[in-house]
Structure 1
Amino acid sequence: MSRRRMRAIVALAGALTLTAGVAACGDGDGGGGGGAGKTLNVLIGANTQYPQEFRAWQASISDKFKAQTGASVKFEEFATANDELTKIQTSVVSGTGPDVYAVGTTLTPTAYSTGAFVKLDDARWQKVGGKDKFVPATLGISGPDQQNQVGIPFVSRPFVMVYNTELLKAAGISKPATTWDELRRHAEQLTKGDQYGLAVAYKDNFDPWKFVWGMSVQAGNPLVDGKTARIQDPIVKQAYQTYFGWLTTDKVVDPAAIGWTNAQAIAAFAEGKTGYMALTSTTAAKALDAGKVKGKWSFALLPTVPPGATARPANGVEAASILSGDNVLVADYSKNQDLAFQFVKLITDQDAQLDYYKAVGNLPANAAALSTLQSDQKLAPVAQAAQKSVATPFTGAWADIQLAMTNVVVQSIPDLAKGSVGDAQLDGRLADAQKAAQSALDRAK
């Protein structure tokens, strides 16, 4: 066993965390281009919103890849960020697992910190078509700098909100909210009877922390300040109180939202009795056009002014979205690296990117593919959100920080079901999250 592998095992064993400075053994740029009889293993996030379309895409891309290379593709899916992190962890320790990982942008820094993924020099970028193939903004979280990158952009997923144009007009609201306080006021105007102002997915595995991150960054708290976590901060507490308050205090959210995932929140909005869906992306479009809101919905930027303010403070950041999407990484231990890069080239080529957009709604990271969608006026706010997206901190600790922030909501679900989250309970959970975040930062190099 190599010294590097031993360091990886010592660092990772016994905890669902990934630390910086570990590396898996690999065979350089080994593998071979000939794929007859070989199987390429690909890890990718499950799509619960459009599972049939996702399966059809997997079958289609597998057939194309086999025709090109002779190799088969075996997809493995993860359903949560926790699952995603666990799979990376176990693969780093064992030196076996998927050849290709499609991971969320916010998990890329943690994956990078393991040293277990192939770094992209000029030759490897050329294998997938070169950096110029991609929308420049999508490269913003491929690595800590341009000389140290592991993430190849697969899709772009700027977050926006969607609103019911008919309901807002009937309520006398001329344009969507631009501050979080204005969103609350609009939601109050829109809530009556069985109609609610806001749809929120409180039980989603990925959504909750994004609200808190956005509100905090806009208020001037980056959550990570160098090697210091800033979770146990009044700004963060106010963000959670705002997020919980839509349900418990303002009562502008359907109580059933306590158990909703993002897909369920979109489905509820599609029924036509909700004013706003608070966090979504272009992936929602198919579901909305298949619902009662067809022709009655539009995207808008998420608010960029923090709760309790009418303007951002001087140190606030106009963060309309996290820099969001999926990156594709090739495992350093893979014996099929040439095949892996051929697969990545295929799924990031223009035609394949447009096919994926049509199947599940994720925007292309391929520049040429994205340019073909510019005439769709519904996407204008999404393009604006992409321009105003801000990357989460590039630290190997971020996955643990993200999970700690989500866990505050997970632990608060029973209290939400009872009607309120008390100060003492929230303070205790924020203290736990701070401890977990700081511990992750202390371990990271």
Structure 2
Amino acid sequence: MTTRRVLIALTGAVLVTSGLTACGGSGDSAGGAGTTINVLIGANTIYPEQQRQWFSDVSARFAKENSGSTIKFETFASANDELTRIQTSVLSGQGPDVYALGTTFTPTAYATGAFQTLSADDWTKIGGREKFVPADLGISGPDAQHEAGIPFASRPFVMAYNKDMLAAAGIDKPANSWDGLLAQAKKTTGAGKYGLAIGYADGFDPWKFVWAMSVQAGNPLVDGKTATLSDPRTMTAYKTYLGWLATDKVVDPAAVAWKNAQAVAAFGEGKAAFLPMVSASSRPALDKSSVAGKYAYALMPTIPPGATAVPAGGKPAASILSGDNLVVAKYSKHKDLALALVKQLTSADSQEAYYKLLGELPTNAEAAATLKNDPVLAPIVDSASKSVGTPFTGGWSQIQLALVNVVVQSIPDLSAGKVDDGKLNGLVRKAQADAQGALDKAK
């Protein structure tokens, strides 16, 4: 199914929500042996074994606390897969009971009307709204009275850097502008090592670079009901991002095929000075790598390309408001049991265990407080406070995919070591049309 057909079906799903309850059945069956909760969550490509261990641990505890009820975990591998799974379940009125969605996909899920808008009683069943870090509730719904997303993992983005490589190049600290970072990347490129480790083929990360540079320059990408992807400031963002490999030569040419896991691995092997757009989830891997004790985190640049300060109208966005939210399907026949699972997953001890195993920061306020004095995490906490939310519109998921598709379609030229301005302009115009179409359908 094409992404356009997915979008048409998904945005049209709001009109058939009234039929979903009938499809899923009313009432809430009791838990116990023979009762299964289905959970959809993103596949962790950096720590697949640890994620499998977490599945097992969560299932064992859930069965013990809920009379033998079981959990079946399913995973999605990309943002496109994530959107398709939402669409399929919305149209069929059946599927996972609980979804762990990226925060930027929460508006799309909310717009369908197919997921539980949390009542005061629902919040009580999961332990209370007040148990969460307030900032993590920032993209749970359009306002505090209409929320579907329950904060599960916090993932503000930062940049890791190799302290030894910077010192050898005479660099005292990472730059706070993208132009400055490029200059530092050039200084640290050579002898088989590169300034930047970037996963150009990753299904999630490329759009975040373009979004950050655009917002910092004063283009929010969505202005009310109007998409602004074709703005020259966004074109500059694409040229900057693609140019690191194609023209600046500060990225390993092999990175054209890298996902985030390969970029993290390259940095961990000491082959790159900077690793931008990573979260605390990179820490377990880096602490077991050859750069253990030799790396640190810093804010990503907040000054856009071509500027020495944030321009008027720009926002010094250090990160998107990022992480995962849990949502419960309205069609679920086991809503109370689903909420019991959400309560377990967002408890302080469960969140601490998730952080230790997979490096995802807690959204539970009690668990988050235990990490506040960790100096390694200080830049990540700072990034969280300087994060900016993406637009809360049902069309955002399709806009996000349109942004990524520009990079996907640029891979052939990138592999040849070039950026064709004419082709890039055409790709961005197509992304603009798709984004505007998504906003129009989401009205």
- Match of 2:255, SS state, is helix
Q: How many angstroms apart in 1 are the aligned matches of 2:336 and 2:6?
A: 33
User: In the TM superposition, what whole-angstrom CA distance separates every residue of 1:118-168 from its partner, at most 9, and x where no partner exists?
Assistant: 011111011111111100000000000111100000000000010001110
Summarize deviations over 1:171-230 as a string: whole Å, max 9, x none.
Answer: 110111110000000000101120111111100000000000000000000000011000
Q: Judge conservation of contact 1:30–1:338 (CA < 8 Å) in 2.
A: no
Which residue of 2 is the match for residue 5 of structure 1?
A: none
Q: TM-score, normalised by structure 1?
A: 0.96
Q: Where does residue 383 of structure 2 map in the other structure?
A: 385
SS of residue paired to 1:40: strand
Change (3 A) 1:33 1:132: farther
Displacement of 1:100 after TM fit? 0.3
**Are residues 1:15 and 2:6 paired?**
yes
- Cα deviation 1:47-69 (Å, max 9, x = unaligned): 11001110001000000000011
Question: 1:228-280 CA deviation, whole Å, 9 max, x = no partner?
Answer: 00001100000000001111111100001000000100000001121100110
Residue 31 of structure 1 deviates from its aligned partner by 1.1
Q: What is the Cα deviation at residue 35 of structure 1? A: 2.7
Distance 1:254 1:394 in 2: 36
Which of 44, 59, 74 pairs up with 1:47? 44
How far apart, in 2, do the equivalents of 1:25 and 1:54 lie? 32
- Give distance in 2, aligned partners of 1:359 and 1:115: 34
**Unmatched tracts of structure 1, length 5 or more:** 1-11
CA contact (8 A) 1:164 1:272 kept: yes
TM-score of the superposed pair, with normalisation by structure 2 = 0.96
Aligned mates of 1:120, 1:216 — CA distance in 2: 33
Cα distance in structure 2, aligned partners of 1:284 and 1:347: 21
Q: Which amino acid is 2:269 matched to?
A: E
Cα separation, 2, equivalents of 1:28 and 1:442: 32
Q: Distance in 2 between matches of 1:218 and 1:304?
A: 6
2:304–2:310 contact (8 Å) kept in structure 1? yes
The percentage of counterpart residues that share the same residue type is 59
* 2:346 equivalent in structure 1: 348
Cα distance in 2 for partners of 1:338, 1:28 equals 14
Contact 1:194 1:273 (C-alpha < 8 Å) held by counterparts: yes
- Match of 1:312? 310
2:20 maps to which residue?
25
Equivalent runs, 1:297-308 vs 2, <5 Å: 297-308=295-306
Which residue identity does 2:64 align to in structure 1? A
Tell me what 1:403 maps to: 401
Residue of structure 2 in register with 1:160 after alignment: 158
Matched, 1:222 2:220: yes
SS in 2 for 1:19: helix
1:29, distance to aligned residue in structure 2 (A) = 7.9
Q: Which runs of 5+ in 2 are unaligned?
A: none
For 2:421 and 2:271, the matched residues in 1 are separated by 32
SS of the residue corresponding to residue 138 of structure 2 reads: helix
- Give how far 1:376 is off: 1.1
Match of 2:340, as an amino acid? Q
CA distance in 2, matches of 1:35, 1:323: 37
Q: Which runs of 4+ in 1 moved over 4 A?
A: none
Root-mean-square deviation (Å)? 1.3
* Counterpart residue number, 2:329: 331
In 2, Cα distance between equivalents of 1:306 and 1:399: 24
What is the number of equivalent residue pairs in this alignment? 434
